[in-house]
Amino acid sequence: MKEQLIKDFKNIYGDGEVRSFFAPGRVNLIGEHTDYNGGNVFPCALSFGTYGVVRPREDSKVRFYSKNFESLGIIEVDLKSNIYDEKDGWANYPKGVIKKFEESGNEIKKGFDLLIFGNIPNGAGLSSSASVELLMSVILKGLYNFDISMVDMVKLSQKAENEFVGVNCGIMDQFAIGMGKKDCAILLDCNTLEYRYAPVELEDSSIVIINTNKRRGLADSKYNERRTECEDGLKELQVKLKIKSLGELTNEEFEENKKLISSQVVRKRVKHAVYENQRTLLAVEKLNNGDIKGFGELMNESHVSLRDDYEVTGIELDTMVALAWEEAGIIGARMTGAGFGGCTVNIVKNENIDTFIENIGIKYKEKIGVKADFYIAKIGHGARELS
Ligand code: GLA
């Protein structure tokens, strides 16, 4: 992959020295829509992601080229006038990261030429955009020798997405992609950013990701709506409870105080945020104790809660998960990421994977009329320079 991209780079920008970098995609195993509610998440970095080949320039120009969006050609930006521009498409993500580096005191005087290629399915909820952000971060650190930690690059990348691109995401995706570790998931407390790695040892089973091939579409506006609903619920609870976020509540405390929340809909949203957070802690405990079946059952509960209480699934995701639940060898299945479309994450016994893929492929096509894509996930390291 790397060699091919270096060739492509030289075809576009000409011969000379280059450096190569990589940032993964991520899949969240459990803990959905909890990050911006101050709760816990349990994602891992994937072995597929975004590759970047780069060469510094002597002037203040930055040139971007993506092999995933070849019709956009080379997108050229001057560091002195780096502002959001809709027509720059995907390049607004790395542009935002450059801006946030500069705003935090990391001065960038000279530009670079960059070629990227990602093998993360686009818009599938596996964080192709956060992958590009962290790719840009490790490139900037590498080219200009900035003294900046990975956690700070994670925070700047999230800031770029929130403030430059205007998507109000939490910190889970950037954290998983920056801090990922091979064969481990990360239990991250989004309130404190304390984290620990948990080996994902699934004995005779594997993680299978299924893309519904329904693009997220409406997701961004609904995503912000859910955030607001949770903030409204929190405010009503704060009339009596001394809490800063929903992540501080136990299930029992929620049940005792839920009457403080006037809207039934908001009550359901808050219930999901609280229960999902507790479910995540329990799930990690089960995995650590080798109880994979118990972990899978909590994945299933997570999906039901996202479907009925948080209402971020939809016909494609619900059909895909229901089909998985019917199959032999299924340990657990749920939607992953923001929802409304994108992917499901499944734990499946190795001996059943072939028939699992075959049966679901046929049945999903019959019911929804769209072909699904299947990936057997490998958990890889976080964003880095390639040697
Ligand atoms: C998107 C956001 C994350 C997180 C998930 C839902 O992926 O980028 O911050 O909120 O949705 O868990």
Please state, in angstroms and rounded to a whole number, the distance separating the CA atoms of residues 331 and 287: 12
Are residues 222 and 78 both part of a single domain?
no
What's the gap in Å between 135 CA and the centre of ligand 1? Answer: 19
CB 103 within 8 A of CB 322: no
Are residues 126 and 187 both part of a single domain?
yes
Q: How far is CA 109 from CA 20, 105, 297, in A?
A: 21, 12, 53
Q: How far is CA 113 from CA 10, 72, 98, 176, 316, in A?
A: 10, 15, 14, 27, 40
- The domain total for the chain is 2
Are residues 235 and 267 both part of a single domain?
yes
Report CA Rg, the chain.
Answer: 21
Are residues 58 and 172 both part of a single domain?
yes
Atom 1 (ligand 1): residue with closest C-alpha?
A: 338
Are residues 253 and 119 both part of a single domain?
no
Are residues 54 and 129 both part of a single domain?
yes
Are residues 26 and 175 both part of a single domain?
yes
Q: What is the pLDDT of residue 105?
A: 97
Q: What's the CATH code of the domain at 324?
A: 3.30.70.890
What's the gap in Å between 7 CA and the centre of ligand 1? Answer: 35
Give the position of tokens 């005792």: 256
Cα–chain center distance at 120? 11
Q: What is the pLDDT of residue 162?
A: 94
189 is catalytic: no
Q: What is the pLDDT of residue 215?
A: 74
Amino acid at 27: V
Atom 2 (ligand 1): residue with closest C-alpha?
A: 169
Cα–chain center distance at 346? 16
Q: What is the pLDDT of residue 219?
A: 58
Q: How far is CA 90 from CA 59, 67, 128, 241, 294, in A?
A: 23, 11, 10, 43, 40
Are residues 96 and 187 both part of a single domain?
yes
Please state, in angstroms and rounded to a whole number, the distance separating the CA atoms of residues 59 and 358: 54
Residue 294 structure tokens = 């118990």
Cα–chain center distance at 72? 25
Give per-residue pLDDT as tens, 114-132: 999 999 987 788 999 999 9
Q: How far is CA 307 from CA 47, 191, 296, 310, in A?
A: 29, 25, 17, 6
Query: Active site residue: 173, 189, 291, 308, which one?
Result: 173
Atom 9 (ligand 1): residue with closest C-alpha?
A: 170
Are residues 229 and 330 both part of a single domain?
yes
Q: What's the CATH code of the domain at 138?
A: 3.30.230.10
Please, which residues have CB within 8 angstroms of residue 13's CB and are 6 or more apart in sequence?
55, 63, 65, 113, 115
User: Is 342 near ligand 1, meaning CB less than 6 Å away?
Assistant: no
Among 66, 58, 54, which Cα is nearest to 16's? 54
Are residues 188 and 209 both part of a single domain?
no
Are residues 283 and 136 both part of a single domain?
no
Secondary element (H or E) of residue 77: strand 75-78
pTM for this predicted structure: 0.97
The domain in which residue 83 lies consists of 2-199+381-385
Pocket test for ligand 1, best of 29, 30, 33 (most atoms within 8 A of CB): 33
Please state, in angstroms and rounded to a whole number, the distance separating the CA atoms of residues 115 and 5: 8
132-169: burial string, b at 16+ Cβ within 10 Å, e else: bbbbbbbbbbebbebebebebbbbbbbbbbbebbebeb
Are residues 170 and 142 both part of a single domain?
yes
Please state, in angstroms and rounded to a whole number, the distance separating the CA atoms of residues 1 and 252: 51
User: Is 170 near ligand 1, meaning CB less than 6 Å away?
Assistant: yes
Please state, in angstroms and rounded to a whole number, the distance separating the CA atoms of residues 83 and 81: 6
Pocket test for ligand 1, best of 34, 172, 218 (most atoms within 8 A of CB): 172
User: Is 161 near ligand 1, meaning CB less than 6 Å away?
Assistant: no
Residues in the chain with pLDDT values less than 70 = 216-219
User: Is 139 near ligand 1, meaning CB less than 6 Å away?
Assistant: no
